[in-house]
Structure 1
């Protein structure tokens, strides 16, 4: 499928905002048309720079759009990251994954979605930008689940950055997270164990239907088969693993596992940074509240670490 997607992908460029005299980057809307899906994204290109590296930012799980927002919470963490690194002379491209945001399509049936589809999409994006003479190197920057997607697609990239990426298989992490919900834990584990054995589960409790509905189970099966450690271990390019110490969703342990998987990996911890890149100086509730506060800045150490890493390539 990968080769089919790459062979039939084409990119159409529309410049949307380049006129401000004080602008440090230009913003261009991108439409990537493939055989089965059209992806929409935003390219930021440093102003007055003839060539630069390009960071392709990959969003995390669920209905998260190119800016890092979803129907339940808006904080613009990916948009802020893209702007921060583009201000430092590095181009960035962020996009709505298939069936998300502007890339949502009635042509895509959830039952047919597989984890590798996301990987193929990223490789198609890389293939296009390889032909764009403005960009000297391509770096994949994956956040959360996007980290795993990025690791699998980075065989076609020049470098790889993981932010809050899982260092264990998805089912292991889900089981750990669900321990906080004893009322549904046993049922959830039974379903996950069945899916791991490649069995479909038709009778799903109402409380778990949003997560394990039958139509999404084929995707979950494909997701559970992926081991991030194996994906990172296979890479032969420079790797930067970034992890916030105040992350409630992905812990330091995962970052350490990822970094240990490859001799080319560099591990950097960002003090007090949470899962959406915000520095937290309060308690757990303050951490959770930040998820719906788009006015909060991202941690400067995060963008600085990425910029320094890319500029040394």
Structure 2
């Protein structure tokens, strides 16, 4: 892990640095440290899918998860590392050519680098992921000796099944005038998935758009359930009751598969983007919901849970 510049306040200190991936590419990231002398317990924070940076932002779609999460953790005495994906933000590369398994390999490299930082306790490093990041956190908890795992809106079924559930759930929240078109849209989506599965290149043009074909193939084929069954460390799994992208019932699967069980929370009103709503959790409401900050109670719960498990 290469050192960088330092900023911060009295209770939080941030270091801008780079993390070497397995192939030598420099992943640009932020290490947030609590007040006081280390070494500190720490957690690696992994974002959801898409062209997202260290704060879970993708262009004008700004989830703004990274900073408030890092601050909440630091105030509980837990350091955190987050980084820009390949081809995003300050990390070089072409995002369109990066596979699902590449993202996992980069997460494993970042976890090892975090353990090796002089201000971090190497045996007290956990993982936290949201959506796709939660699935990578499952693998790291099972195979890379993470000390604890937090799964925010993580699915517990094969990727293609998760995607089909998501498509059906989103369709059910569309305005009524659009619903007669749903059979046509489903057939079109099935054709697109078939075309994606038949690709052999990193990228492909489907529907006139340049698609990250390798990421899609690998994500659709991946089944996280065997990894869940191998996890031997504490697990906290949280999914919102109004999540339209991940089935909240997958919490029961996670609790059943993790040896010794997992602590699960199905939060009323919480959506996939970690904001609460009194209305439906439709993706059509995301733009409005993203004007609000990440749910504060969720951040407090996660930070407190990790502080207790990483002592």
Interval containing the TM-score (normalised by the shorter chain)? 0.7 to 0.9
Q: Distance in 2 between matches of 1:25 and 1:262?
A: 34
Instruction: Indicate conservation of the 8 Å contact 1:278/1:290, yes or no.
Output: no
Q: How big is the shift at 1:218?
A: 2.4
The answer to whether the Cα contact below 8 Å between 1:73 and 1:291 also exists between their aligned partners in 2 is no
Q: What is the TM-score when the length of structure 1 is the normalising length? A: 0.82
Shift of 1:244: 1.6
TM-score for both structures, normalised by structure 2: 0.83
d(CA) in 2 for partners of 1:59, 1:114: 15
- Return 113-122 or 193-202, whichever deviates more: 193-202
* Cα distance between partner residues in 2 of 1:45 and 1:57: 14
Q: What is aligned with 2:87?
A: 99
Aligned-residue Cα RMSD (Å) equals 2.6
Is 2:170 the counterpart of 1:173? no
The CA deviation at 1:228 is 1.6
The 1:170/1:28 distance shift into structure 2, 3 A limit, reads same
Q: Contact between 2:153 and 2:272, CA under 8 Å: does it hold in 1?
A: yes
1:211-261 C-alpha deviation (Å, 9 max, x unpaired): xx3xx2222212222112122112222211111222222221122222221
Write the distance in 1 (CA, Å) between the matches of 2:235 and 2:136.
14
* Contact 1:77 1:298 (8 Å CA) reproduced: no
Q: 2:259 is paired with a residue of what secondary structure?
A: coil
Out of 232, 235, 238, the residue aligned to residue 228 of structure 2 is: 232
SS in 1 for 2:43: strand
Contact 2:51–2:95 at 8 Å: present in 1 too? no
Question: Which string of whole-angstrom CA distances, capped at 9 and with x for unpartnered residues, describes residues 20-57 of structure 1?
Answer: 4xx21101101123435221111110011423210110
In 1, the alpha carbon distance for the partners of 2:70 and 2:111 equals 17
Distance 1:272 1:49, change over 3 A: farther
Q: Which runs of 5 or more structure 1 residues have no equivalent in the other structure?
A: 1-10
Displacement after TM superposition at 1:141 (Å): 0.1
The within-5 A match list for 1:109-148 is 110-111=96-97, 113-136=98-121, 137-148=124-135
Task: Quote the residue 1:58 is aligned against.
Answer: 46
**Corresponding residue SS for 1:251:** coil
In structure 2, how many angstroms separate the alpha carbons of the residues matched to 1:284 and 1:274? 6
* 2:297 is equivalent to residue 300 of structure 1: yes
Task: Classify 1:60/1:297 alpha carbon distance in 2 versus 1 (closer, same or farther; 3 Å).
Answer: closer
Alignment CA distance shift 1:203-1:94 (3 Å): closer
Q: Secondary structure at the match of 1:12?
A: coil
Q: CA deviation at 1:280?
A: 2.0
> How many pairs align?
290
